[in-house]
Structure 1
Amino acid sequence: MLSTLILSLIASGVLYYIISAFYCVTFHPLASVPGPPLCAFSRIPYWYVSFGGVDVFWMKRLHDKYGPVVRFGPTDLSYASAEGWQEVHGAKVQEKAVEFSPQPVNGVPPVLTATHPNHTRVRRLFSPAFSARSLKAQEPLFQKYADLLKHKVSEVGQDGQKPVDIGALLNFTTFDVMAELTFGQNLGMLAKTEYSPWVASIVESLKMLPLVAMINYYPLLRVTLFERFQPKWIAEQREAHCAFSADLVNRRLKVGSKKPDVWNLVLDDKGKGLTLEEMHSNAELFMLAGSETTATLLSGAIYNLLRSPRCFAKLVDEVRNAFDSDGKMTLENLGSLKYLNACLKEALRIYPPVPIGSPRIIQQGGQMILGTWVPPETRVSVHHWSTYHSSSNFTDPNSYVPERWLGDPKYAGDAFSAHQPFGSGYRNCIGQNMAMHEMRLIMATLLVGFDLELCAESEGWDEQKSFALWIKDPLMIRARPRSRGRGDKL
C-alpha cells in the first residue's frame, strides 16, 4: 500500500515535470526567445557552469550562437546590446533579483539590493560622501596610499631584483583606502603586505556565491535543507564577519573623526532616515564593492598594457610628460590625461571586474523589451562580458585597443553606449567617480616611479574562473626604478 502510494507520487511528479517542460518549450510567453532547448525548462545547465566558475564564457557562447537575446533558464533572459541597457536598466523602475547577492546577517539589505523606495532614500543619504566636493577633500587620503604603494613595490621587489605580486599589493591598497573611508581607520594590510583575516575571509567567500544564489533562488530548498542542515561553522563565520564590520562602524561613530570619511559626510545630514543597521550592512558592502573591483580593474589594465608594448609605451610617454617624479597629481590634471583614461576604459571593456549581469525582476503587468513582451517575475539582465566581447558591438572585440575611445576611424562603428561597466540607470554605481580617480592616481604613480615588465609565469593570467567576480592568480611583474629618457620632461 505504502509502496504503491510512493510510486504514485513519483509518477505524478514526473508527469507534472514533463507537462511543465512541454509548456515551457511550446506555450510559455518566452517560448519564442532563442536559447538551448534544455534551458527553456531547466536551470540545471546554468547551475552547472556557475558552480564550475565558467558561466561567463558559457553565456558568451550562447550569445554568439543565438544572438543579442538569450533564454538561459525558464524565466531568465540575458541581453548583449546597447538597446538592452536602455530597456532593462532605463527609466522604468525595476527591482533587483536579490537572490543573486548574499544577504546580510542583520536582515537589512544594503543600497545595492534594497527595494526601490529604500534604495532611493539610502542612496540620497550616501550621495554626499561620493560627490565631487567630497572626492576633492579625500584627495590627500588617496595620495597617501598611492605613495605607500610605490614604497612597497620598491621594497618588496628590491628595486626590480625580485618579482612583485602587484595584484596582491593593489588589493591591500584599495581595501586600506576603503577601510579608512568607511571606518575611519585602515587595516594595515599594505604596511604589513598581508591580508587581514577579515578581508581574507571576504575574498575566499566569493567562491560560495553560486551556492548562495541557488539556495536563495529556491525558497523551499533554503527552508527544508540549508537552514536545517547548514554546517554550524558557516553560520558562525557569517555572524563573526558581520559583527567585525558592525563593531568598526560603532567604534567610528562613538569616537568621531575630523577626516572627510563616509560618516562625517553622511552625518552632516544628521543621518536622517538612516538606521544603525543600514549603516552596518552598507559599510560591509562598501568594503567589497569599493575595493575588490578597483584592484581587479587595475590588475587587468596593467596585464593588458604589459602585453601591448605599443600601448604601454604611449601611456608612459603621456604620464611622464605630465608629471616629473615629484609632480603633484590632482583630480583635475589626472582627469585630463586622454590616453590614460582611454587605457582604463578599454580595460573596463576587455576585463570588466564584474563580468556577469545584474538581474532585474519584471514587475506586475510585464514589459516590452526589444519588441518582445516579457511576463512578470522574469529575471532580465545585460551580460557585461558577452556585450563587450561581441563583434556586433565592438570591432576587434578581443583586442586591447585604447584608441577606439579616442576617435580612431577604424572603430567609428563601435556601439560605445553598449559599454556600461558601472551599470546604467538609477541604480548605477554610486562610487564610480571615486573609483576612476583612484585608478588614475595609482596607475600614474606606478608609471612615474617604475619601468614595469610582466614575468613569464604570469603569461595567460587572464584565463580565470569567475564566481560573480574574478578569482585571480598572482600577477607577477618586475618593477625597476624608472630609467631616464623617453617620456621624461625636458
Structure 2
Amino acid sequence: MELPNLGHSGLGTICLSTIFFIFVYIISTIIYLLTLHPLASYPGPVWTRASRIPFWIACLTGDQVLWMHSLHTKYGPWKAIHGHEKGGRELPKAREWFVEPANGIYGINSAPAHEHHRRFRKLFAPAFSERALKSNEPVLRKHVDLLVRKLGEVANAGRPVDMVRMFQFTTFDFMGDLTFGLPLGLLQGLKYSPWVEAVFDSIKVTPVAQIIQYYPWLHSLFKRLEPRFVKDMKYNHFKHSADRVDLRLERGPAEKPDIWSMVLAAKGDQQLSLEEMYCHADVFMLAGSETSGSTLSGLTYHLLSNPEKLEILKNQIHSLFKHEDEITLQSTAGIEYLNACIQEALRLYPPVPVGVPRVVTEAGLTIRGQWVASGTRVSVHHYATYRSPLNFADPDTFAPERWLSGGGDSLAPYYENDRRESCQPFAYGPRDCLGRNLAMHEMRYVMARVLFNFDLKLRPESDCNIVGASNQAV
C-alpha cells in the first residue's frame, strides 16, 4: 500500500491546524477556569485561577511560604476542614503531597485509608503516653548531657557554634535511641551521617516529587524514565531504615523500652507487617527529629533577638533550679513562661509552615459559604494563619506574653483578643500529631538545660530574618 505524498504544503497545513487547536484548547480552558469553574468565584490573582503553574514555581524556588502569606494577607482568610463533622468522615490527605515510599507502603502520617491510620495510631499511641515518656527520660537525659558537654568544649575554646546543627544532632540521636535503642552518633562525631544528609537533601527536592505525583500522566512517564541515580538514592535511603529495623528485630526484647517494644508486643490485627515496620522506621526518624530541632533553632533565634524575653526566661529557670539534676521532664512541664516561649516559637517559626492539603470527597463541601467541588485540594497554611493580623495582634512580634494565663505582665491584656485556637502547629482533628507530648517535653528539657548552663549571644551574621537564618550563637 502506497501512502499519499502530502508534500510540504500538506504537512504545513497539518502543523498549523494542530497549533490552532492547541491554542483554542488552552484559551478555552483558561476562560472556563476564570468564569465557569466551581472555584472561579474565589478571590485571588488571575494567573493563579487560570493555572496551577504559579504555585509550582513558588514551591520550586522556595518562595511558597512567603508567597502564600502575601496572598492570605491581600485576599483574606481561607479555611479548610482538618477535623470531621459529627457522623461524617475526615477529608483524606492528598497522596501526591507525600513522596511515594520505596516499598509502596504509606505510614501513619500519610496513610490514605482511615482504617489503616486508626490501626497504626492505636498501636503506637501507648509509646507516646505520659507513662512511656517518663520511663524514657534517662534516654533523653543521656543525650542532653552530651549536648551540654559538647557545647561546653566549644565555649571553653572560644569558638562559635551552629546551634541548628547541635539541636539537630541531639534530636536525631535521641529519636534513634528512642525508636530502636541505637543512637546515630551525630553528637559524638559532631557531623551528620550520610543518611541524615540524604534526609535533608530529600526535603529540598520534595516539591519536584509533588509536581510529578500530582499529574498521573507525568507520574507514569517518570516511572518509565526514572534516572538510575534517583532509584539508587531512594533505595539507599529505604535500605538504611530497613536495616535498622532488621537489627532491632535481631536483638529481640529490649533491656530498656523503646517504641519498637510496642510493635513487637502487638497481637492480632494490630501487628505490623515487616514492610509496614520498614515504612514507620523512616516516618519516626524524620517526624520526631527534624521538626523538634527546627523549633528549638527558631526559639533560640527569637530569644537571642529579644534579650529582655531571654532574661525573663533565664531568671525563671535559675530561680527554680539550684542544681542541674533538679531539671526533669516533670519539673519543666509547669514553667509557664517556658511553655509560652515555645508556643510563640511554634507560631512564628512552625516546623511545617505550609498547609498539608486534604482532598474534598465525592459529596463536595461548603467552605465559608461557598461550594467546593469533589477533588479540590484544601488546606490551612500554617505560616499565613499564624502571621495574620486577623488572628494575632502584632503578628510578626515575638511575644510569649500572648500565651500567658493572665496577670503579672502589663503587656498580656494587649493580646487578649488573639485567636489562639487558630495556632495548631501539631495539626488538628483525628490526624493530629501523635508525638506532641514527646516534642513538648523534649523541647522544654533541652532549652532549660542549655539556658541553665550557657549565656548565648547571636552572632552578627545570624541577625537576619528568621526565614533562612543560620542561627549561629555563642
Deviates more, 1:207-216 or 1:258-267: 258-267
Report runs of 4+ in structure 1 exceeding 4 Å deviation: none
Q: Which residue of 1 aligns with 2:7?
A: none
3-state SS of 2:156 partner: coil
Match of 1:468 in 2: none
Alpha-carbon distance in 1 for matches of 2:328, 2:467: 35
Moved more, 130-139 or 392-401: 130-139
User: Contact 1:325 / 1:448 at 8 angstroms: preserved in 2?
Assistant: no
Deviations 1:238-273 (A, max 9, x none): 101101110110110121212211111232223734
* 2:170 equivalent to 1:169: no
Distance 1:448 1:290 in 2: 24
Residue of structure 1 in register with 2:278 after alignment: 280
SS in 2 for 1:368: strand
Alpha carbons of 1:2 and 1:110: their partners in 2 closer, same or farther (altered >3 Å)? Answer: farther
Displacement of 1:476 in angstroms is 1.5
Residue of structure 2 aligned with 1:232, choices 228, 235, 244: 228
Moved more, 243-252 or 17-26: 17-26
Matched, 1:381 2:379: yes
Aligned partner of residue 339 in structure 1, secondary structure: helix
Are positions 1:39 and 2:48 aligned together?
A: yes
- Structure-2 residue corresponding to 1:417: 421
Q: Residue in 1 aligned with 2:255?
A: 258
Shift of 1:88: 3.8
* Matched-pair contact (CA < 8 Å) for 1:362–1:379: yes
Query: In the alignment, which residue of structure 2 is the partner of 1:300?
Result: 298
Deviation of 1:90 (Å):
3.8
CA deviation vs aligned residue, 1:301-335 (integer Å, no higher than 9, x gap): 01000111110000001111111233322222111
Unmatched tracts of structure 1, length 5 or more = 70-78, 465-472, 479-490
Q: Displacement, 1:5? A: 3.3
- In 2, the alpha carbon distance for the partners of 1:207 and 1:366 equals 33
Contact 1:258 1:264 (C-alpha < 8 Å) held by counterparts = no
Instruction: Report the alpha carbon displacement of residue 2 of structure 1 after superposing the two structures with TM.
Output: 4.3
1:119 pairs with 117, 120, 127, which one? Answer: 117
Aligned-residue offset at 1:359: 0.4
Q: How does 1:54-65 map to 2 (within 5 A)?
A: 54-65=63-74
Deviations for 1:256-301, whole angstroms, at most 9, x for unmatched residues?
2122111112322237342111111111011111101100000000
Q: Which one has more relative contact order, counting CA pairs under 8 Å at least 6 apart?
A: 1
Partner in structure 2 of residue 432 of structure 1: 436
Deviations 1:411-458 (A, max 9, x none): 011011100000000011110100000000000000111111111121
TM-score by length of 2: 0.93
Matched to 1:242, the amino acid is F
SS in 2 for 1:430: coil
Q: Is the 8 A contact 1:301 1:343 kept in 2?
A: yes
Kindly tell me the number of residue pairs found equivalent between the two proteins: 453
Q: After TM superposition, give the deviation of residue 461 of structure 1 in Å.
A: 5.5
- After superposition, give the CA deviation of every residue in 1:38-70 in whole Å (9 maximum; x if it has no partner): 11120111111111101110001111111112x
SS in 2 for 1:157: helix
Q: Check whether the contact 2:123–2:262 (CA below 8 A) recurs between aligned residues.
A: no
Cα separation, 2, equivalents of 1:154 and 1:290: 26
Q: Distance in 1 between matches of 2:49 and 2:281?
A: 39
Contact 1:88 1:369 in 2 (8 A): no
| Unaligned ranges ≥5, structure 2 | 1-9, 407-411
Q: Secondary structure at the match of 1:68?
A: coil
Match of 2:188 in 1: 191
Question: Among residues 18, 33, 47, which one is paired with 1:24 in the alignment?
Answer: 33
**Counterpart in the other structure of 1:145:** 143
Does the aligned pair in 2 maintain the 1:178–1:287 contact within 8 Å?
A: yes
Q: CA deviation at 1:127?
A: 0.9
TM-score normalized by structure 1? 0.90
Three-state SS of the structure 1 residue aligned to 2:219 is: helix
Match for residue 312 of structure 1 among 292, 310, 313: 310
Q: Is the 8 A contact 1:304 1:400 kept in 2?
A: yes
Alignment of 1:196-207 (within 5 A): 196-207=193-204
Q: Does 2:464 match 1:450? A: no
User: What amino acid is the match of 1:231?
Assistant: P
Residue 221 of structure 1: how far off its partner (Å): 1.0
Inter-partner Cα distance in structure 1 for 2:283 and 2:125: 15
How is 1:51-130 mapped onto 2 (pairs within 5 angstroms)?
51-69=60-78, 79=79, 84=80, 87-91=81-85, 92-115=89-112, 116-130=114-128
CA contact (8 A) 1:245 1:280 kept: yes
**Distance apart, 1:105 and its partner CA:** 0.3
Separation (CA, whole Å) in 2 of partners of 1:422 and 1:151: 31
Query: Match for 1:178: what amino acid?
Result: M
Number of the residue aligned with 2:409: none
**1:180 alignment counterpart:** 177
- Residue 245 of structure 2 is matched in structure 1 by 249
- SS of the residue aligned with 2:324? coil
CA-to-partner distance for each residue in 1:385-406, whole Å, 9 max, x for gaps?
0000000000000000000011
Over the aligned positions, Cα root-mean-square deviation in angstroms equals 1.4
> Aligned partners of 1:369 and 1:130: how far apart in 2?
34
8 Å CA contact retained: 1:362, 1:378: yes
Distance in 1 (alpha carbons) for counterparts of 2:432 and 2:20: 48
Distance 1:461 1:42 in 2: 31
Q: Distance in 2 between matches of 1:25 and 1:15?
A: 15
Residue 162 of structure 1, CA deviation: 1.2
CA distance in 2, matches of 1:374, 1:156: 56
% identity of equivalent residues: 45
CA–CA distance in structure 2, aligned partners of residues 457 and 291 of structure 1: 26
- Alpha carbons of 1:89 and 1:12: their partners in 2 closer, same or farther (altered >3 Å)? farther
Alignment-mate amino acid for residue 40 of structure 2: A
